Structure 1
Amino acid sequence: MNIGIALLAFAYVLSQFFRAFLAVLSPFLATDIGAGPEDLAFASGLWFITFAAMQPPIGWALDTIGPRRTAATLLLLGGGGGAAVFALATTPLHVSIAMALIGVGCAPVLMASYYIFALDHPPLRFAFLAALMVGVGTLGNIVASYPTTLAAETMGWRAALWVLCALASATAAGIWITVRDPIKEPTEQKGSFAEVLRIRALWFIFPLMLVSYAEVGALRGLWIGPYLTEVFNAEPRVIGQATLAMGIAMVVGPLLYSKLDNVFRTLKWVVFVGSCGMLLSTFGMIMLVDHSVIWIIILMCAIGLFGSTYPAIMAHGRSFLPPHLVGRGVTMLNLCSIGGVGIAQFATGRIHASYSDGAFASLPYSLILTFFAILLSIGLITYLFSRDTER
């Protein structure tokens, strides 16, 4: 791993942090600027939607101008600029604008890494490197948990955002200086997103990609905070500890899937069985929705572990992409994954708003979990018809 890849990995740590830290800051933002769960669901959804909307132009940029300039420019303008807007926020609207900007800034980071891996390494090696990058990057989930709670309680959340602004800007400058674009074989094939969509093997992978990360991203990125607060009256430190535990599970998950792929020599069935574990954990949460905070946290960690299928599904889809479609192909897969979370955030925000005034504080969360269980079931049924990778 050279310095450029290390900086891209650190940028992905920041990306994972930004998609998850609202859950921990929710008590502070509610007190200081009046941001409720629906406001934060909308802001979080904007992060994922703008992130997803950027994938097509990023796919084009990776294939034409390369990962170095693509990642560095957007991270500086969106990541650094968005963090500055967040630090100055005085209303929930400002938070939404900031999160949209940060989504733009974070959008190219992982895909720039995957683009380099895909062109510089064989497809079977790609699966391991993709899992390693996600495993390292998911450390951002850990930082966006209890440590962020401590930072918000000591130095204040605004000061913490200014630190993040400086980190994002410095990382962008480092990427510009150190990342080297891979050398591409000359070809007359230009490629297009329409050509990616004509690859029939991807049709049965896209639906699971759309829904598999949606639940993990929504729970860890937003709902774990309001859920534990409204149903169990949990204090901020308990929320921080719960998000820390789930974040650790999400670090272990991608590396575990990579190991199981090497042992069983099948990506499809490793992903399928693991996703079934995620589905069973979701049913467990529905049944125990307001019974025990300990069991709920354990099941959330199980969802974080079993639901860490992103790099494995990405590697599965990558195996069907020819070299001239790598940039557009991986960003199309990523669009499904991140776009699914954004749609889920908007949908679950509506569910919470519609049922939060009822007699049972747990009702909106039961419905949110049922929503995810239905989506995941549909994705799994479709994925059964996918073709396994060739060894």
Structure 2
Amino acid sequence: MTQTPSEADSADRRRSLRRILLILGVFFVFVQINRSGGGVLASYLGSERGLSPTDIGTVMGAMFFGSAAAQLPTGILFDRIGPTRTLMVLGLIALAGILLFALASDPWVLVAGRVAIGVGHGGVITAVYLIAMGWAPPDRVGQATAGLVGIAGGIGGVLATTPLALALERVGLQGSFLVLAVMTALLMLVIHLLVRDGPDSRDADDQGPKETLAQSVAGLVEVMRMPELRRIFIMGVCFTAPFMTIGGLWAGPYFAQVQHLSHTEASVALLLLVIALHVGTYGYGVLDRIATSRRRVVLTGVAIEVVCLGVLAAWPTAPLPVAGVLLFVFSCAAPLFVILAAHARRFVPQRRAGRAITCISLMGLTGVFVLQTGTGAVIDMVAATGGAPETGFRLVFATVIAVLVVTAGIYAGQPEGPKAPG
């Protein structure tokens, strides 16, 4: 039987979506090494470069500061020139940052490199979400995005643990990150050649006048001032900060100093946490399709995080199997971005979706910078007063709990969608 034109178009669109998601997924694998390598890099920078916990927290948190600073202009770029072109422009900045980080010999040069990486890679997940919006049916966007982030991010996260630790041990920081720079550049070239924003993106310039820059900025301000989104933006503080503070930074030192694991053993434990994070990401994508209340999904995830961290705050020296299971479950519950992005999307038109989602990212990445830097200072303070390592980690867990409880308490009043007219 011959396909009707609409069936043929749909089949072609599905094939294109699969190809594009595969390309973006491979690119995201290498992005994720930078995003998830904090635990391994923290141990390396402390033991091999002699950096203090405050310095480590500053270097690792600098990437998220750069990402946060780039979110608002990136949101305008997404809606003006499209996610693919934005991804390419910012990718060049990230590439420069990877090279700078690889060649750095001074802590402040390491910070500068991480800031540039953050600026360049801070909008990758939003770009994936927006490109998926251009190709996938509306009810499949969240699942497509979560599937890519979950699978590709999981692979990248695995590479950011034991393999990264082995690479640092054998070829050092410079060799490891120069290879990462080469792979990133090759993937950017493939994206430039083969990825488009949607089936009609080649004709986008003929589809009517675009917003002026002033109109784009005014639209961003309007999105930021929307009362319907304020509680979502507040909850956005915790869409990634809890995991990136614990699983992405301090879990490595925790396993080494409190659980007395070697660097290699700690990297294996971190690998399991990263796998858990991306299992959770995929699970949230499925829940986005079937759950009747996105607010309830988010609040349930926060409650699980608080319970797990609460046990560790009260009992930081728990046996390794107990601590490992608690951190694994915490990591599964942590990746709330897909649900929050889908929730925000209900309140804005498509032409402003990029700005709404990057506002969530702004809050989340600012939260990462503040929490990573702040908890580094807490651990330094405990060490300076002669406190045991477990005391510092107890305070880290308690600090993250406090932020989760406050943000979730505000978000609890968020409506599911806009009020019906009349």
* TM-score over 0.5 for the pair: yes
Structure number with larger C-alpha Rg: 2
Q: In 2, are the aligned partners of 1:289 and 1:366 still within 8 Å (CA)? A: yes
Q: SS in structure 1 opposite 2:240?
A: helix
Tell me how far 1:57 sits from its aligned partner: 1.1
Q: 1:326, CA displacement in angstroms?
A: 1.2
Q: CA deviation at 1:70?
A: 1.4
Structure 1 residue 186: Cα displacement: 4.0
Question: 2:104 maps to what in 1?
Answer: 89
Cα pair 1:35 1:91 within 8 Å, conserved: no
Match of 2:28 in 1: 12
CA distance in 1, matches of 2:265, 2:253: 12
Distance of 1:82 and 1:343 partners within structure 2: 21
**Greater Cα offset, 182-191 or 315-324:** 182-191
Kindly provide the amino acid, as one letter, of the partner of residue 379 in structure 2.
H
Asked if residue 57 in structure 1 is aligned to residue 73 in structure 2, the reply is yes
Alignment of 1:100-139 (within 5 A): 100-139=115-154
Computed over aligned residues only, the root mean square deviation of the Cα atoms, in angstroms, reads 2.1
Q: Structure 2: which amino acid aligns with 1:59?
A: G
What amino acid is the match of 2:196? R
| Contact 1:257-1:312 within 8 A present in 2 as well | yes
Question: For residue 164 of structure 2, what is the aligned residue in structure 1?
Answer: 148
CA distance in 1, matches of 2:346, 2:357: 10
Query: Which of 236, 245, 257 does residue 230 from structure 1 map onto?
Result: 257
**Which residue of the partner structure matches residue 204 of structure 1?**
231
Cα distance in 2 for residues equivalent to 1:88 and 1:188: 41
Quick one: which amino acid aligns to residue 374 of structure 1?
A
CA–CA distance in 2 between the matches of 1:92 and 1:294? 35
Q: Return the TM-score normalized by structure 2.
A: 0.86
Displacement after TM superposition at 1:187 (Å): 6.7
SS at match of 1:33: coil
Match of 2:91 among 75, 80, 86: 75
Residue 115 of structure 2 aligns with an amino acid whose one-letter code is A
Aligned to 2:401: 373
SS at match of 2:231: coil
Residue 49 (structure 1) shift: 0.8
Give the Cα–Cα distance (whole angstroms) in 1 for the partners of residues 136 and 229 of structure 2.
21
1:287 is the counterpart of 2:314? yes
Please identify, of 46-55 and 285-294, the stretch whose mean Cα deviation from structure 2 is larger.
285-294
| Kept after mapping to 2: 8 A contact 1:76/1:173 | no
Q: Does residue 173 in structure 1 map to residue 224 in structure 2? A: no
The one of 375, 394, 400 equivalent to 1:348 is 375
**Residue 38 of structure 1 contacts residue 349 of structure 1 at CA under 8 Å; is this kept in 2?**
yes
Secondary structure at the residue paired with 1:204? helix
- Report if aligned partners of 1:23, 1:226 keep a CA contact under 8 Å in 2: yes
Q: Summarize deviations over 1:192-217 as a string: whole Å, max 9, x none.
A: 11211233221121111112421111
Aligned-residue offset at 1:133: 2.7
Q: Which runs of 5+ in 1 are unaligned?
A: none
Q: Which residue of 2 aligns with 1:319?
A: 346
Q: Measure, in 1, the Cα distance between the counterparts of 2:117 and 2:83.
A: 18
**How many Å separate the matches in 2 of 1:31 and 1:273?**
38
List structure 1 segments (4+ residues) > 6 angstroms apart after TM superposition.
none
Deviations 1:186-243 (A, max 9, x none): 4777551121123322112111111242111111221112222222332111111111
Corresponding residue number in structure 2 for 1:26:
42
Q: Does the CA contact (< 8 Å) of 2:64 and 2:365 recur in 1?
A: yes
- Distance in 1 between residues matched to 2:123 and 2:57, nearest whole Å: 23
Deviations 1:15-68 (A, max 9, x none): 222022131133332333222322121011110010111111111111112222
Structure 2: any 5+ residue segments left out of the alignment? 1-16
Paired residue total: 390
1:269 aligns to what?
Answer: 296
Counterpart contact for 1:46–1:96, Cα < 8 Å: yes
Distance of 2:31 and 2:371 partners within structure 1: 19
Residue 153 of structure 1: how far off its partner (Å): 2.7
1:310 aligned partner: 337
Output the CA distance in 2 between the equivalents of 1:22 and 1:243: 10
Tell me the TM-score normalised to structure 1 length. 0.93
In structure 1, how many angstroms separate the alpha carbons of the residues matched to 2:417 and 2:140? 13
Contact 1:282 1:369 in 2 (8 A): yes
Q: Contact 1:267–1:389 (CA<8 Å) still a contact in 2?
A: no
